[in-house]
């Protein structure tokens, strides 16, 4: 039987894909959402509130905290900035991290379960609608380089 220690790589870093495989004895499919978002307790709480965890009975496996270290720090500003979550009824592991002003959520799931895949896509869409950035139009510029033409695209985020 695989052991949890096998979820750590050679650099002693926790590997979520390995953890999924150990838990469910199958390889995970991945859906990743990444967007700029200010690090704050309020933003992390909004992200966590946006996902319906009760629907597929998701529980916390572990979380990492962002705290101030000063003796007179206001502990009401402390918050978990990373969560590893796991479904109790489906083959799903979810990683949520709000670090360096960037939100990353990674859904690792069993793609052979179509209901689960629909839930993952829906949860990702909810996150994208709640905290994603608006994209402005793409501008293309055609320019000549020696004997051929090149195209350069530019996109601005709001």
pTM of the model: 0.81
Grade residue 155 by pLDDT with cuts at 50, 70 and 90.
low
- pLDDT tens sequence across 92-125: 999 999 999 999 999 999 999 999 999 999 999 9
75 Rama class: left (phi>0) / alpha (psi -120 to 50) / beta: alpha
**pLDDT beyond 90 at 18:** yes
Q: Give the pLDDT score at 1.
A: 47
Contact partners, residue 82, CB within 8 Å, separation at least 6: 63, 64, 95, 96, 97, 98, 99
Range with the largest mean pLDDT of 11-15, 59-63, 136-140: 59-63
Q: Give the pLDDT score at 157.
A: 52
Could you tell me the residue range of the domain that residue 14 belongs to? 4-157
How many domains is the chain built from? 1
- pLDDT tens sequence across 122-151: 999 999 999 888 776 666 666 676 777 777
């Amino acid at each position: 039987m695989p052991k949890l220690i096998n979820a750590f790589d050679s650099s002693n870093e926790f590997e979520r894909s390995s953890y999924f495989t150990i838990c469910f004895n199958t390889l995970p499919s991945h859906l990743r959402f990444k967007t700029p978002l200010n690090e704050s307790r309020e933003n992390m709480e909004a992200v966590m509130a946006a996902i319906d965890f009760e629907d597929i009975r998701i529980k916390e496996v572990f979380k990492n905290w962002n705290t101030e270290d000063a003796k007179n720090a206001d502990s009401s500003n402390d918050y978990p900035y990373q969560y590893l979550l796991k479904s109790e009824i489906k083959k799903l592991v979810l990683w949520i991290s709000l670090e360096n002003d960037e939100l990353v959520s990674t859904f690792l799931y069993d793609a052979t379960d179509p209901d689960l895949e629909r839930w993952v896509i829906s949860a990702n869409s909810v996150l994208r609608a709640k905290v994603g950035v608006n994209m402005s139009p793409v501008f293309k510029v055609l320019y000549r380089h020696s004997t051929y033409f090149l195209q350069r695209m530019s996109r601005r985020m709001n």
